[in-house]
Structure 1
Amino acid sequence: MRVLVDADWLREHVDDGNVRIIDCRFSLGDPAEGRERYNESHIPGAVFFDLEKDLSGYAKKHGGRHPLPNMKNFLRKVEDAGIDNHTTIVIYDEKEGALAGRCWWLFHYIGHENVHILNGGFAAWKKGSGKTESTVPHYPPTNYRPSVNDDMLATVDEIRCIADGDRNIPLIDSRSRERFSGREEPIDRIPGHIPGAINFPWTEGMNDGYFLGPVEQKERFSMLKKDDPVIVYCGSGVTATPNFIALKEAGFTDVKLYVGSYSDWVSYEEHKVDKE
C-alpha cells in the first residue's frame, strides 16, 4: 500500500482526469481559516473538505469532539466532488499530516484503496514552485459504492477491556508527552491518559511536515510486534491518524483507530485516567 506521494509525482499527474485532489487545510483556532486559504490559493483542480463539516459529525455527549461524519452526508460530498470507486485521490493539508491523515483514513474506511497523501503538504507544493489557482472547480457528480470496513474501528468496549487490565492489545496514545502525563491539558476536562496506554507522540513520526520513511517508522515501533493488533488514539481522532499511517508504513497489518479518543473516554464519569 503506497500511502505517500511527493510533489514531483503530483506535478506530473495534476492534469490527469482520473486524479482528484483534496485540500484539507484547517485551523482549530479559527474553523473558517481553512476555507479562506483554499479560496485564496490551492493546487489546481483541488476540492475542499472541511474537518468539522465534512470529515466529522456533530459532537454529542459521547463520541468525542470529532466523531465520524454521517456516512450519507460524507458520501454525498464524495460524489459531488466527482469521485467514484476508481478515482485516484491525493489529499493535502498545510504540512501537518494529521488533517490529511483523517481524510485518508475515512476513504480507507469506506473501502477506497487508491488514496494518497501529499508528503509535505501544500508547503512542499509551493516550495517546488507548483502552480496554484483560486478558481473553485466543479465536477460532474458520480455514484460511489462504499464497502465500509468496521475492522478499522476500535470500540469503547475494547478500550474498557484494556483499561481494566487486558494488556494483550497495545493501546497507543498519540498526544504529546505533556498531555499523556497529565502535566498539561488545554482542551479536555480531565488531564491524563487511558489506563494501559503507551505514549508515541504522533509528531515524532514527522520531520518538518514530512512523514519519516518506513525504516525509521519501524524503529519507532520496534518494541511492538507487527503481526499483533494495535489501537491508536489521540484527543479527538485526528492526530492519531499519522500514527495509524506510520504503523502501516512500518508493516503492521492490524491497526485500529479509537475515533472518539480521549475526549470520548473522559465523557464517561465512571472512566478512570492515569497520570505520570
Structure 2
Amino acid sequence: MKAIVDTDWLREHIHEENLRVIDSRFSLGNPSEGRERYKESHIPGAVFFDLEKDLSGYVKKHGGRHPLPNMKNFLRKVEDSGIDNDTTVVIYDEKEGAFSGRCWWLFQYIGHEKVYILNGGFAAWKEAGGKTESTSPVYPPKSYRPSFNEDIVASLDEVRSIASGDQNIPLIDSRSRERYLGHEEPIDRIPGHIPRAINLPWTDGVKGGYFIQGEEQNERFSHLNKAEQVIVYCGSGVTATPNFIALKEAGFHHVKLYVGSYSDWVSYEDHKVDKE
C-alpha cells in the first residue's frame, strides 16, 4: 500500500482507534462550500481541514495563491484532531483528488508516513453505501513530533535554474493544455507557462474521481527517468499534488512540488513566460 486506499479498505478499518479520517472538501469558487457540506454529511469520525484556513498560509506579494501554512498552526490543527506520529490518516475530498492531495502532501512534508487518500472520495463512499453522519467529533489532543521533509519542496531558485536552462530537470506543468499554451487564463495576470516546462495535465491521471493505476499511469510518464528528479507545479500548488502522487505511485523516487507554482512565478516582474 502506497498513497491510495479504496472504500472497502476504509470500511474495514474505520473503527480502529488509531485511525483518523480527514474531510478536505473544498470549492475554489465558493470557499465556504466544503465546510457546509461537511456539516451536512461526512464520513463517520471525520474531522474537517479547510484548504485556505488550514492547508494554506496568508497570501502575500510573492508565494502564490496558496502558500504553505504557518507550520505551528498546521501542527496545532493536527494535534487538536487527535493525530500523533503513529496515527493512520485517510483523507478525502468530494472526488477531485486535488484538495485531498494537498492535505496528503502536507502530511508528507511534516514527515508522516501512514497517510493515504481515499480513491474516489466522498462520492465513492456514498456510492458504496458507506454510512455518514453530521455531528462533528471532538478528540483528545495528541502530541506530534514533525520531521520536515524539505526534499519534496522545490525552491524558487531551483525553478529559475530550469527556466534559464542552467539545469536540465523535468518541470511538469499540471494545468490544462489551454492554460499551459496561454490560450486562456482565468486567474493569473499573465497567460502562459514557465519556460522549459512540459505539460502533463493532472486530470489525465484522475479519471471520474479515481486515480488510474498500473501501466496506464506509468505510460503518462514513460518519457521520464524514474531515478532522476522531477518537479511539478500548477496554478497555486494544489492541483499539482495529484501528479506528485501519481509519480510516486509510478515509482519515481525524487519528486518535488513548487508550492507557489505559476501564481508565484508571475508575481515577479522579471520572470519570463512562454506560450504555445
TM bucket (normalised to shorter chain) is over 0.9
Q: Which moved more, 1:83-92 or 1:5-14?
A: 5-14
Q: Distance in 1 between matches of 2:196 and 2:29?
A: 31
State the match for 2:41 in structure 1.
Answer: 41
Matches within 5 A, 1:170-249: 170-249=170-249
TM-aligned CA deviation for residue 166 of structure 1: 3.0
String of CA shifts for 1:117-140, please: whole Å, max 9, x gaps: 000000000000000000100000
Decide whether the 8 Å contact of 1:26 with 1:51 is kept in 2: yes
String of CA shifts for 1:61-112, please: whole Å, max 9, x gaps: 0000000000000000000000000000000000000000000000000000
Q: Secondary structure at the match of 1:179?
A: helix
Which amino acid in 2 is paired with 1:124?
A
State the match for 2:275 in structure 1.
Answer: 275
TM-aligned CA deviation for residue 167 of structure 1: 4.7
Q: Distance in 1 between matches of 2:186 and 2:167?
A: 28
Which amino acid in 2 is paired with 1:171?
L
State the match for 2:55 in structure 1.
Answer: 55
State the superposition RMSD in angstroms: 0.7
Decide whether the 8 Å contact of 1:214 with 1:246 is kept in 2: no
Q: Which moved more, 1:162-171 or 1:34-43?
A: 162-171
Q: Which runs of 5 or more residues in structure 2 are unaligned?
A: none
TM-aligned CA deviation for residue 168 of structure 1: 1.6
State the match for 2:154 in structure 1.
Answer: 154
TM-aligned CA deviation for residue 216 of structure 1: 1.3
Q: Does 2:132 correspond to 1:132? A: yes
State the match for 1:78 in structure 2.
Answer: 78
Q: Which moved more, 1:234-243 or 1:156-165?
A: 156-165
TM-aligned CA deviation for residue 165 of structure 1: 1.2
TM-aligned CA deviation for residue 214 of structure 1: 2.8
Q: Distance in 1 between matches of 2:241 and 2:20?
A: 21
Q: Distance in 1 between matches of 2:253 and 2:166?
A: 21
State the match for 2:66 in structure 1.
Answer: 66
State the match for 1:116 in structure 2.
Answer: 116
TM, length-normalised to structure 1: 0.99
Q: Secondary structure at the match of 2:198?
A: strand
**Matched pairs, number:** 276
Q: Which moved more, 1:183-192 or 1:163-172?
A: 163-172
